[in-house]
Structures are given as C-alpha cells and as structure tokens.
Structure 1
C-alpha cells in the first residue's frame, strides 16, 4: 500500500466475499433497501461498492442500510460494527421511532443482538429524557403500513407459540425479578421471534406477530429497567411502542407508554412521566382495558406527587381506583395480569410517601403487602415494605422503621432487582437524621452486606 492510500476495509471485504454477491448486486440491493426506508436519493453503483471495500467510508444512512442488506444475506443480524463501518453498534438507532416497519425490525434486532452479547457499551448507554416525546406523539397520530420482505411465510401457529411463551417470562419477572430471566428471554427473542418479523405474512398474521413481539420487547425493556440498565430499557420500550402501533393494538401501546412514564418519573423527570401517562390515557379512548387505565392513572399520581401537587395526586389515585373496579380479569390481556391490588396499592403508597403523607402511604403499603404475601411476590412485597418503613420514619418511629426495613431486606434477597436494592438504600438514606442510634448502625451494616451480596 502506497503512502496516503486508504487501507482496505477487511471486515467488509470478508463479509462481501462470503456473501456471493457481485459489486453490482450489492449496489442494487442497497439502493432497493434505501428506497424501502424512504431514502430515494440513495442510489449507489458498483464503483461506490469498490470504494467502500477499499476503505472509503459511506455517508449516512448508508452504513446502516449496508448492514441490513448483509443481515438479509446471512439470515442473522449484522451490524455496522461487524462490517468495519462503525466503532460500535448504533445504539442511537433504537431511540428512533421510524415510520418504516423494516427499519424498526432492523433496529430492534440490532438492539437484541447487542444485548445478548452483553456488550459493555450497551449497559452504559444513557437514558435520554427527551427521547419519549416523538414516539408518544407519533403513536397517537400515525397509522402506518409497510409490507415485510419476501421469504418463508409465517403461520398463525408460529405466533401462537410466541404468545404462549410470554406468560412464562412475565411470571418469571414478577416472581423472581427482572435480572432472573432476562438473558434467557433475550436469547429467545433473537433466535426465535425477531427473525420472524423479517419474513412474509398475511395481514392478520403480521399484526398478531407484531403484537406478540411488542409484548415481549416491552418485557425485555421492563427487565432491563428492573436491573438498573435504563438506557437499554428505554431503547427496548421505544421499539416495543412502534411494534404495538404496527399491530394495531392500542391498549398494548398504552401499556408500553405506562412503562416509559414509570421510567421517566423514577429517573427524575416527573413532568415527562406525567405527559407520557396522559398520552397513554388519550390513546385508550379507542380501546378497552380498565387495568391499563388504572395503571396509567397510578403512574400519573406518582409523577404528580413528585411535582408536589397534593390535590391532583389524590384525584389521580381516586381515578385509578375507580378504573380498577371495572376490571374483569378474564377480559384483560395477559400483559395486564400483574396490575392488581399488590401492584396498585404499592404505587399509591409511593405517591403518598413522596408527598410526606405518612398515614395514607402506610395504609396503602399495608394493603399491598397483604396481597403480595398471599401471592408470594417477594419483589412487590419488598418495595411496599420499604414504603411502609419510610412512613414510619416520617412519623419519627425509628424502631418500627428498622423492623420493617429488615423485612424489606429479607424479601429483597429472594429476587434479582436493582429497584429492591435502591429501595433498601432509600430507607438507609432516610435514617441519616437519626444519627448514630444503634438501630441505624445495625441497619447500615445489614444493607452493606445485602448490597455486597447483590
């Protein structure tokens, strides 16, 4: 190689050699995929391909499109990183709510691949507060229809198999925490579900498949959220919302917005959390799921409490309770089964806790604890015990808070959930004003041991 000559892109050359394509074939496929994504100005030829192979860097959006073409050829996810066209997988791509169904499929597949590989840069990806604005707006306003690519047709039986697995994974999350089954679900989605999205379907099968994929993509996001990987969680939730739109399942889309609202509020953006919950409620005007509506009102109450609006919080809790009275369990979808007394009273308890209304918080915490105990739900029990412990501290009852805090730790040890860790640490932080009291020292040591083990 002479001085100043661009080095060959060996990764791209290796993939090109294995593909069996000619330079003209690759150029035509890239141009066709670009048109499918709406980039009609992108029209490379063989000379462009030759430059890429020799190390020339194609301009955006070509690297993503080239990676998608090779993904089709090899029947597995190929990223820009794999082709030497990016320093790492494009982790901003799953933050985009694309109008193209095909690009959505590629985004969620690339995200799943990076998650399954457990790449460090994915775990460190940031939560972007404003990223929910466009998706929630587009979900409300858009009805989009893109046809999938040719390939082996998907049958309704394939979708039923996917849907039947959802209950198993959701039960694993509810009973054992998001850190328990997430890797298994990630592998299942990458090996069995996301590949189905790239095949052809009749319209009814396509919608059913998108609904099933949205459910489980949401669950992946929720598991990441429960594990404290908020950037990963946000990316899954945005793509789940897009898949829900493609399915035409409005209630499922509202459910995904509830998860996005919960995350935004937890991460210190209650105004954004409230807006996302409101978007979900507006969408539910054309669908029927009292359980989802109860959840959205509860999450709006959580946001309002952090905003300090006592009257609006109380109203939102009352609206949530009213919606829940209309729930007919057998009429609700599988994903709504966790929205019950244990969950809702726990959310109400947290809302009143944030308003420093200890009596109301304690009342709802105790109801949540009782439901959770009957169902043997350790994660929900731990979090509601934490809310009860804080209510004791707000009433200056350190002895009761310590006893309840110890019970929080006992339950939290039974699950893999960063939220349980954070709940225990919140109690610890709130004990600081009690100084060097022996009960404070004892609880600090218990938390230290728990966090070390976790």
Structure 2
C-alpha cells in the first residue's frame, strides 16, 4: 500500500531531525562558551538573531513545533553559539545572551508542542541560565511561565502553581500586558489546584491589566484578549462551570488571529470536547469538523493528542451518522 501524505511528512521530518544537532551537542556547545579571539560581533548580529527567532515563532504558530524546531536547533548551534563566543562590547554581549535565551525558550516551547517534554525542560533551564546572565527579567519570567504552562498541561498542579508564582514575583515592574500574561497563567494554575479565591483574584488582575494594555497603542506579543478569554475559559472549567467555559472559548476563537492555526486546532478541540460534555452534540460535531479542516496543515504532538481524544470520545456514539462520519474522518487524518 502506498504511504499516505501524513506518513510521508512525518518520515521526512524525523529523517531530517537525524541531521539536526541533538540535545547533547547543544548542551555541550552552550556549556563551553570559550571566547573566540578571531570573531567579533555587534548589534547587527543581535538583530539578526532576534529577527530569525521571530520568523521561526511565526512558522511555529501556523504549522506547529514538529515542523519548525529542527531549523531552530540548527540555527542555535550554527549561528547563535559562535556569536556567544565572539568578542563584543558589554552591552552587545548582554544583548546577545538575551536574544539567545529567547531563542532557547522558543525552542523549548516547540519541543513541548512535539510532546518531547523532557527535552523542553532542558531547553527551558538553559534559557533561564542565559536570561539570568543577561539580566533579562522579561525572558526569565516568560520562561518560568512557560514551564508552568507545561506543568499544567501535564497535570503537575502544585509545580505549575509554584512556577507561575515564581514568574510573577521575578517581574515586580511588569507593564500591563506582561502583568496580564503572568496573572492569566497564575489563575489557570490556581484553578487547577482548586484554589477558587486565588484563581478569581488572579483572573481579575489579568482582566484589569489587559484593559489597561488595550487602551494604549497596540503592542506586539502573543498575549491578547483572545489569550485572556482562553484563560477565563480554563478557570471556569476547572471550577466546574462548563457552560461558562464554552462561552469563553467561543469568544477566544472569535478574537484569535487567523494565522495562529496550531492554537486554533488545540483550543477549538477543547471547545468541542466541552460542548460534547454539555450534551450539545451537534455543536460539538460542527466544531470538531472545523478542527479537522485545519489539522492536516499542522505538525504538532499536542494537536495529535486532541484528535486522538476526539476519536475516543466519539467512538461510543458512532451509530449516529454525523458522529460516525466525523470519527472515520479523524481516524483517516491521524493515520496519514
């Protein structure tokens, strides 16, 4: 039987990954940052690293971590590490450390998206180290928050709470958007820990901060009203309000940037699961249908997991023609 498209894509990705620097090589490179007397960098090199990280982040948003991480890892070893070893003025050196830390954080996030969670943690720890050496509180706090997101996702609730609180305490002078970014995650972690009062207090902080941020000139960044609505939905769900959670996730979808395809797959799959849980079967089937429209374009372990959940959830109801068609379509796509 001829291999299908998704099998071919996965084979290409994994084959390509064999030629990409593995963690041991990356770890060794970052642990031996001996100065290279024959190379010197300036702010131009820093700007290049920042721009490349931004480009890879855009690809990750649209296509998922399994597609984008190999180029991030290769760029880290082939370009960023030599820059870290080069001679530079003190401001340039710190700026390069900061840019490298941000790139490591992104690479860790993509590893988490692949469900390579141990690898993601190692990237995150290196990002914390470089951010600390750069005096970069923003990337340091962002990385701690990312570690909390991972812990929530894996059900390590107490660790998620500690990491979210550490991220917040490490950034006492955060602007309103950053404050909302941190408080939203604190709210989600606290709600998963069944701490209703803390969850609602953090959520209120996030909502007030977002109002202040949105009243100013629009800032670039991933935390926006859609992301806040997602956190509201997660808090409501963890506290037992399934209907309220559905409303918040529907709002998050309406507000979401159209290019954030991977997020759309994951969060709309959550929405469909909750619609199904609430007995709104036709709505759930329609939402899952939209998920499957996007899914073939995304290479993401977390999205794969959501489609597997779809299949297992629908399986007992396949006597219904709509459910059976959705079930069969999801199975076919997962095996491609």
TM bucket normalised to smaller: 0.7 to 0.9
Map of 1:361 onto structure 2: 245
| Cα pair distance change 1:90/1:449, threshold 3 Å | same
2:234 to 350, 357, 376: 350
1:316 aligns with 2:241: no
Map of 1:164 onto structure 2: 51
2:281 to 360, 385, 398: 398
Q: Which moved more, 1:276-285 or 1:199-208?
A: 199-208
Deviations 1:206-256 (A, max 9, x none): 110001101111111111111111111111111011111111111111011
> What CA distance in whole angstroms lies between the structure 1 residues aligned with 2:304 and 2:179?
29
Deviations 1:288-337 (A, max 9, x none): 333232222222222223223334333322222222223267685x6xx1
Q: Using the TM superposition, give the Cα deviation of residue 375 of structure 1 relative to its aligned residue in structure 2, in angstroms.
A: 2.8
Q: Give the secondary-structure state (helix, strand or coil) at the position aligned to 2:170.
A: helix
> What CA distance in whole angstroms lies between the structure 2 residues aligned with 1:221 and 1:169?
13
Q: Is the 8 Å Cα contact of residues 104 and 126 (structure 2) preserved in structure 1?
A: yes
Q: Using the TM superposition, give the Cα deviation of residue 388 of structure 1 relative to its aligned residue in structure 2, in angstroms.
A: 2.0
Map of 1:275 onto structure 2: 162
Q: Give the secondary-structure state (helix, strand or coil) at the position aligned to 1:416.
A: coil
> What CA distance in whole angstroms lies between the structure 2 residues aligned with 1:310 and 1:386?
25
The answer for unaligned runs of 5 or more in structure 2 is 1-21
> What CA distance in whole angstroms lies between the structure 1 residues aligned with 2:194 and 2:159?
15
Q: Give the secondary-structure state (helix, strand or coil) at the position aligned to 1:380.
A: helix
Q: Using the TM superposition, give the Cα deviation of residue 338 of structure 1 relative to its aligned residue in structure 2, in angstroms.
A: 1.2
Q: Using the TM superposition, give the Cα deviation of residue 163 of structure 1 relative to its aligned residue in structure 2, in angstroms.
A: 1.6
| Cα pair distance change 1:210/1:406, threshold 3 Å | same
Q: Is the 8 Å Cα contact of residues 365 and 384 (structure 1) preserved in structure 2?
A: yes
Q: Normalized against structure 1, the TM-score is what?
A: 0.63
1:327 to 204, 213, 228: 213
2:296 to 413, 419, 442: 413
| Cα pair distance change 1:412/1:315, threshold 3 Å | farther
Structure with more helix by fraction: 2
2:61 to 150, 154, 174: 174
Map of 1:301 onto structure 2: 187
> What CA distance in whole angstroms lies between the structure 1 residues aligned with 2:89 and 2:243?
55
| Cα pair distance change 1:196/1:279, threshold 3 Å | same
| Cα pair distance change 1:272/1:450, threshold 3 Å | same
Q: Is the 8 Å Cα contact of residues 161 and 189 (structure 2) preserved in structure 1?
A: yes
Deviations 1:75-116 (A, max 9, x none): xxxxxxxxxxxxx9759x96xxxxxxxx88227x9xxxxxxx
Map of 2:4 onto structure 1: none
Structure with higher RCO (Cα < 8 A, 6+ apart): 2
Map of 2:330 onto structure 1: 447
The answer for unaligned runs of 5 or more in structure 1 is 1-87, 95-102, 110-147
| Cα pair distance change 1:397/1:441, threshold 3 Å | same
Q: Give the secondary-structure state (helix, strand or coil) at the position aligned to 2:54.
A: helix
Q: Using the TM superposition, give the Cα deviation of residue 176 of structure 1 relative to its aligned residue in structure 2, in angstroms.
A: 2.0
Map of 1:233 onto structure 2: 120
Larger radius of gyration: 1
| Cα pair distance change 1:164/1:389, threshold 3 Å | same
Q: Using the TM superposition, give the Cα deviation of residue 430 of structure 1 relative to its aligned residue in structure 2, in angstroms.
A: 4.1
Q: Normalized against structure 2, the TM-score is what?
A: 0.84
1:245 aligns with 2:132: yes
Q: Using the TM superposition, give the Cα deviation of residue 427 of structure 1 relative to its aligned residue in structure 2, in angstroms.
A: 3.7
1:199 aligns with 2:124: no
Deviations 1:110-162 (A, max 9, x none): xxxxxxxxxxxxxxxxxxxxxxxxxxxxxxxxxxxxxx635223222221221
Q: Using the TM superposition, give the Cα deviation of residue 450 of structure 1 relative to its aligned residue in structure 2, in angstroms.
A: 2.0
Q: Is the 8 Å Cα contact of residues 350 and 387 (structure 1) preserved in structure 2?
A: no
> What CA distance in whole angstroms lies between the structure 2 residues aligned with 1:438 and 1:351?
34
The RMSD of aligned alpha carbons is 2.7
| Cα pair distance change 1:383/1:327, threshold 3 Å | same
Q: Using the TM superposition, give the Cα deviation of residue 274 of structure 1 relative to its aligned residue in structure 2, in angstroms.
A: 1.1
| Cα pair distance change 1:403/1:419, threshold 3 Å | same
Map of 2:305 onto structure 1: 422
Map of 2:271 onto structure 1: 388
> What CA distance in whole angstroms lies between the structure 2 residues aligned with 1:233 and 1:377?
21
Q: Is the 8 Å Cα contact of residues 349 and 384 (structure 1) preserved in structure 2?
A: no
Map of 1:50 onto structure 2: none
| Cα pair distance change 1:249/1:226, threshold 3 Å | same
Q: Using the TM superposition, give the Cα deviation of residue 180 of structure 1 relative to its aligned residue in structure 2, in angstroms.
A: 2.3
